[in-house]
Amino acid sequence: MKQDNYKWIALSNTTLGILMAVINQSIVIIALPAIFRGIHLDPLVPSNTSYLLWMLLGFMVVMAVIVVSLGRVGDMFGRVRMYNLGFAIFTAGSILLSVTWMHGSAGALWMIVMRVVQGIGAAFLMANSSAILTDAFPPDQRGLALGINMVAAIAGSFIGLVLGGVLAPISWRLVFLVSVPFGLFGTVWAYLKLEERGMRSPARIDWLGNITFGAGLIAVLVGITYGILPYGGHTMGWTSPGVISALVGGVVLLAFFVWIERRVQAPLFRLKLFRIRAFSGGSVAAFLAALSRGGLMFMLILWLQGIWLPEHGYSFADTPLWAGIYMLPLSVGFLVVGPFAGRLADHFGARPFATGGMILSALGFLLLNALPVNFPYWAFGLVIFLIGASMGLFAAPNQTGIMNSLPPDQRGAGAGMAATFQNAASVLSIGVFFSLVIVGLSSTLPGVLYHGLATHGVPVAAATQVSHLPPVGSLFASFLGYNPMGTLLASVLPHLPHATAAYLTGHRFFPSLVSHPFASGIHTVFYFAAGCCLVAALASWLRGGKYYHVEAAEPVETNEVGAAAWSGAEAAPGLTHSARGLTHSR
C-alpha cells in the first residue's frame, strides 16, 4: 500500500514541477509587451532586438544545453536530490524576476539572466522527472504516468499563453510571481515526500565532454537565433560572419564531443544506448516531432495577431490575449488524448500510437495549408485540435517506449538525452520556421507594401524606405501586439491627413496587404512540418513492437520478433550489469 501511495505522490509532484516549468517557458510570449513597458524599453528599436530574442529563447537554450548533463548527474548522485534542487533554483529565479527594480537595458539584462536561472531549475526538473516516475511505477502503468507528465509538458506551453495574457494587463510582475507559491510548495513537498528508488551509477564527471557539448550546442543555437535577424543589406543574418562562425564552430565542437564520448570511461552521452532500437527510434521520432511542433505556436500567433484578429475587429493591443484564447483547442487536444494514449501504450506497446500520432499530425499540417488566410474559426479550431490530439497520441507512448528501453541505472542519462533532442529541436524549429516565413515575405511584401502606401498618399520616398525595411520588424511588431503600420510609419503619420493616417493604422490595411505574402511563407512552413512528421512516423515504426527487458521481472522492449540483438544488455555488452536475461510478450 505504501508503494502504491508513493507512485501517485511522485506523479503529482513531478507533474506540478513540469507544468510549472513549461508554463514559464511560454508565459512571457504574450506578456512581453507589458514586460518591456514595465522596464521602459522599446523592444522594436534595432539595438534592443537582442534583448527581445534572449527574453524569448534564453530559457529554452539553457535547458537544451544542460539537461543531458543533469540527467547524468542524477544517475550518479540521486535523481530525487537533483530534482529537489531544481525546484528550489526555479523558485528562486521566479522570486528574483518578480522583484526586478532596474529599468532600460540594465533591467532587460537582469531579467534575461534570471530567466537563465529559471531555465537551469527547469532543466533539473525535466532531466529527472521521467526517471523518477519510471522508478516509481510498475512497467504496466508507466505509460499512464508518463502520459500525464508529457501532456503537462506539452499542454503547459499553451496554457502559459493564456495565463500570460490574463496576468500581464494587471501587472507584468504577476507573470513571474504566480509561480512562487507553487514553487515553494513543490520544493517542500518534494523534499519531504520523494524517495530515492532508482539505481545509482557512481562515476567521474565527464568534464571535457560537458564543456565541448555545452559550448558546441550553445554556439549552434546562438547562430540559429541570430540567423533570423537582418544583417547588412540582407533580410536575415545567415550570411553574417558571426552566424557562420558560430554554426561551423558549434558543429566542429559537437563532432569533437562525439569523438571524446567514444573514448572516455564514463561518458556524458551514453552513445551505446543508441544500440537499443527502441531508444534510438524513439529519440529520432521525438526530435523530428519537436522540430515540427517547436515553431508552430509562434506561427499560429503571428497568423492570429498579424492578420486574422485585426481582420475581425480586434485592436492590435488586444491581440496577444485573444491569440492565446483562440489557440485553446490545441491544448485541449493534448489534454484529452495524452493520458489515454499512455495507458493504451502500456497494453499494446508504443509503436501503433506514436506512429499513428505522427501520421495524423502530418495530416493536420496539410489541412492548415488548405485553410484560407481569413479562415472560418470553427475550421481552424478543428484542425488545431486534431494537431494537439495527434501530438498527444504520439508524446506519451513515445516517451514510455524510450524510458522502458533504458537499463535502470541509466534512466536519468537516457531521459536527459531525449530531452536534449527535443529542446534543441524546438529552438531549431523556431529558427527554421521564422526563416521560411521571412523568405516568403521578402519575395512579395516590398512591392505590395510600396504600392499600398503610395496609393494611399504616403510620400514616395517614405513608401520606398518602409517597403525596403526587413520584414522581421513587421513580424516582431505583430507578435508583440503593436500596430505594424504605426511602428513603421511613426515619422510619417503626423504629416498625413487624419483620415489617411487612421486608415493606414486601422484594423484592415496591414492584414489585407500582408495576407498573400504571409501565406506563401507559412505554406512552406507547414509542408516542412508535415514532412518532419512523416519521417518521425517512419522512425517510430522502426522501433519494433511491444517488448520486454527483464531485470528482476521488469519488462523492457526488444524488437518485434523478440530478437535479443536489439536489447540493451545484449546489443551493448558492458553497458550495464543490471539487465541480464530477456523475454518478450509475443
pLDDT in tens, the chain (586 residues): 455 788 899 999 999 998 998 888 888 888 888 899 899 988 877 778 888 888 888 888 888 888 888 887 887 888 899 999 999 999 999 999 999 999 999 999 999 999 999 999 999 998 888 889 888 888 878 877 877 787 777 778 778 888 888 898 899 999 999 999 999 999 999 999 998 887 666 667 788 888 898 899 889 988 988 888 888 778 888 889 999 999 999 999 999 989 998 888 878 777 888 888 888 999 999 999 999 988 888 899 889 988 899 989 888 888 888 888 898 898 888 888 877 887 888 888 889 999 999 999 999 999 999 999 999 999 999 999 999 999 989 988 998 888 888 888 787 778 888 888 888 888 889 888 988 888 888 878 888 888 888 888 888 888 888 888 888 877 877 777 778 888 888 888 888 888 888 888 888 888 888 888 888 889 999 999 999 999 999 999 988 765 444 443 344 444 333 333 333 333 333 333 333 333 333 3
Cα–Cα nearest to 404, from 546, 299, 537: 546
Query: How far apart, in Å, are the Cα atoms of 263 and each of 213, 230, 462?
Result: 15, 41, 61
For cell 509532484, the residue is: 13
List CB contacts of 373: < 8 A, sequence separation 6 or more.
303, 307, 308, 515, 516, 518, 519
The sign one gets for the Cα dihedral 141, 145, 147, 148 is positive
Confidence at residue 124, expressed as pLDDT on a 0 to 100 scale: 92
Quick one: DSSP state of residue 582? E
**CA-based Rg of the chain, rounded to a whole angstrom?**
24
CB 170 within 8 A of CB 178: no
Strand pairing class (582-583; 548-549): antiparallel
- Per-domain boundaries in the chain: 206-265, 441-516, 544-586
Buried/exposed code over 159-173 (b: 16+ C-beta within 10 A; e: otherwise): bbbbbbbbbbbeebb
Q: How far apart, in whole angstroms, are the C-alpha atoms of residue 197 and residue 144?
A: 19
Other Cβ atoms less than 10 A from the Cβ of 534: the count is: 17
One-letter amino acid at 581 equals G
**Chain segment 406-439, per-residue pLDDT in tens:** 888 787 778 888 888 888 888 889 888 988 888 8
With 0-12 / 13-18 / 19 or more C-beta atoms within 10 angstroms meaning exposed / middle / buried, residue 200 is middle
With 0-12 / 13-18 / 19 or more C-beta atoms within 10 angstroms meaning exposed / middle / buried, residue 454 is middle
Cα–Cα nearest to 397, from 334, 355, 336: 355
List CB contacts of 221: < 8 A, sequence separation 6 or more.
57, 61, 64, 65, 250, 424, 427, 428
C-alpha cell at 252: 566542429
Q: Collapsing DSSP states into helix, strand and coil, what is residue 264?
A: coil
CB 355 within 8 A of CB 537: yes
Q: How far apart, in whole angstroms, are the C-alpha atoms of residue 476 and residue 494?
A: 23
CB 29 within 8 A of CB 58: no
List CB contacts of 460: < 8 A, sequence separation 6 or more.
454
Buried/exposed code over 335-358 (b: 16+ C-beta within 10 A; e: otherwise): bbbbbbbbbbbbeebbbbbbbbbb
Cα–Cα nearest to 345, from 354, 337, 336: 354
Confidence at residue 115, expressed as pLDDT on a 0 to 100 scale: 94
Torsion of CA 423, 425, 428, 429, to 10 degrees: -110
Confidence at residue 578, expressed as pLDDT on a 0 to 100 scale: 36
Q: How far apart, in whole angstroms, are the C-alpha atoms of residue 538 and residue 281?
A: 9
Q: How far apart, in whole angstroms, are the C-alpha atoms of residue 361 and residue 341?
A: 15
DSSP string, 397-417: HHHHHHHHTS-GGGHHHHHHH
One-letter amino acid at 442 equals S
With 0-12 / 13-18 / 19 or more C-beta atoms within 10 angstroms meaning exposed / middle / buried, residue 45 is exposed
For cell 563532432, the residue is: 255
DSSP string, 365-405: HHHHHHS-TT--HHHHHHHHHHHHHHHHHHHHHHHHHHHHT
CB 427 within 8 A of CB 433: no
